[in-house]
Chain A
Amino acid sequence: MSDVIDTLAGIEPGSPLDAIRNGRLQARTHAQASYDSLFKPLSEADASRLERIAIACFVAGLHGRPEMEAFYGTALAEAGAPAAWKGAIAAAVKAAKGQGPYGHYPKGPLSAEDKAGPVFKIGAAERDALSARLAAAFEHTHMLVFHPRDAAPPYLQALVDAGWSATGIVVISQLVAFLSYQIRVVAGLRVLKARPA
């Protein structure tokens, strides 16, 4: 059975890292099952498969990871996304890229550690190409990727106003959070593989 993390990290069956990953077989199996649940969902009522893949392309781009961008970019093309999406996502990535984590703490001793940074507003052309609903999801995704400690109810209200249900918000939050994990595991394993003991 194919395992996306192995594919993206270049881990060969029978290799030392394959054996180590098998030492955490439940984690390996359920990381893959998480991916499957997010991208082959039982229901698309609250977040469509195409929306999920578009968000994944954006997250991959924000992390600047070519292997992830290629993987989710291929998925987007195969899923039959509107022709304008590819360019719109690339433009959004270019405008949104930054360095995280930044953000604010609750007022108090930790305020000394507050680190200012941009709140992403998607461009009008990208909004038109992607739909207001997906554009709102991209703005939220940017916060989750770069400055999650700024999260606050108005961010969720903006999603509701753009047509996302509470369940849909849970789905896209899990999606961006899962990708934050997947991208890091792949990045870490690639470094380790390239640096044999």
Chain B
Amino acid sequence: MTDKILSTPPHVEPVVFTRDMLDWLPWLEPMAEQDLTARHMAGLVDAARAKSAYFRLLVRDPEVLEHRTKTDKDIFYNPEAGLPRAERELAAAATSRFNGCIYCASVHARFAATYSKRAEDVDRLLDKGVDTNLDARWNAIVAASIALTATPITFGPEHVDALRKVGLDEASIVDVINAASFFNWANRLMLSLGEPAAPEKA
């Protein structure tokens, strides 16, 4: 039996980058909650993710999902050394803005704004795009993220120099590399397996 492509229910498609909470609607059938075994629950990592259509779709391959998730969490949540959380989120948001992932950009712009308390700068990145002027340090982080995201990759020694000049140490530069690279993973899943939807107005 061949699998079916899902038609999404009526919804409002977001047409701008935003920090608003968005929904995500799958184009392929997620696993049903009642079919999740212990192996699938291990793949979801957090039991609460059994409620998410996105994670129940990805859990069709539980091992890859588990390791993807644990890679993600350490790159962004590990508080030891390196780049402040706000700026790891900035790299994720900039990467998502450049690839054009409205859903991922919304999530990580929210985190970047919350942790940096610079909502206006984050909104400017969303509204104007990755060439907008933020400040020297954020410009360098955004430029490095974009250079890593381009195909072919254009990241070079000049980006390393620019990051050092604005005060990033070696561990922080590795965090920029990890965060931008990881969102080249995440963006491609979110963009290609379903679509964002504006939440229904209450």
Which residues of A line the B interface, CB within 8 A? 16-17, 20-21, 23-27, 29-31, 33-34, 37-38, 41-42, 62-65, 98-101, 103, 105-110, 113, 143-146, 148-149, 151, 153, 155-157, 160, 165-167, 169-171, 173-174, 176-178, 180-185, 187-189, 191-192, 194-195, 197
| Structural contact, A34 and B68, CB atoms closer than 8 A | yes
Closest to B77 in A: A26
18 contacts between A and B (CB under 8 A): A30-B70, A33-B63, A37-B61, A37-B64, A148-B187, A149-B99, A151-B191, A156-B5, A169-B28, A173-B193, A177-B184, A177-B186, A183-B153, A184-B148, A185-B178, A185-B181, A194-B157, A197-B164
Alpha-carbon distance A14/B199, docked complex (angstroms) = 50
- Shortest distance in angstroms between B74's beta carbon and chain A's nearest beta carbon? 4
| Structural contact, B64 and A191, CB atoms closer than 8 A | no
| Structural contact, A110 and B16, CB atoms closer than 8 A | yes
Residues of B within 8 Å of A38, CB to CB, are 64
Taking a contact as CB atoms closer than 8 A, the residue among A30, A100, A110 that contacts B74 in the complex is: A30
| Structural contact, B152 and A64, CB atoms closer than 8 A | yes
| Structural contact, A191 and B155, CB atoms closer than 8 A | yes
Interface of B is mostly: helix
**B50 on interface, CB distance cutoff 8 Å:** no
Which of the candidate stretches B117-125, B134-142, B168-176 sits at the interface with the other chain? B168-176
**B151 on interface, CB distance cutoff 8 Å:** yes
| Structural contact, A153 and B27, CB atoms closer than 8 A | yes
| Structural contact, B74 and A25, CB atoms closer than 8 A | yes
Residues of B within 8 Å of A31, CB to CB, are 67, 71
Taking a contact as CB atoms closer than 8 A, the residue among A23, A26, A184, A194 that contacts B171 in the complex is: A23
Residues of B within 8 Å of A181, CB to CB, are 181-182, 184-185
Alpha-carbon distance A61/B155, docked complex (angstroms) = 18
Taking a contact as CB atoms closer than 8 A, the residue among B58, B171, B192 that contacts A148 in the complex is: B192
Chain B interface residue count, CB cutoff 8 Å, equals 72
**B2 on interface, CB distance cutoff 8 Å:** yes
Taking a contact as CB atoms closer than 8 A, the residue among A26, A30, A110, A192 that contacts B173 in the complex is: A192
**B60 on interface, CB distance cutoff 8 Å:** yes
| Structural contact, A155 and B153, CB atoms closer than 8 A | no
Residues of A within 8 Å of B102, CB to CB, are 105-106
| Structural contact, A191 and B160, CB atoms closer than 8 A | yes
Given A177-B189, A185-B177, is A26 in contact with B70 using a C-beta cutoff of 8 Å?
yes
Closest to A164 in B: B3
Taking a contact as CB atoms closer than 8 A, the residue among B80, B173, B186 that contacts A23 in the complex is: B80
Residues of B within 8 Å of A184, CB to CB, are 148-149, 153, 155, 177, 180-181, 184
Alpha-carbon distance A24/B171, docked complex (angstroms) = 10
Alpha-carbon distance A98/B185, docked complex (angstroms) = 19
Alpha-carbon distance A188/B149, docked complex (angstroms) = 11
| Structural contact, A17 and B174, CB atoms closer than 8 A | yes
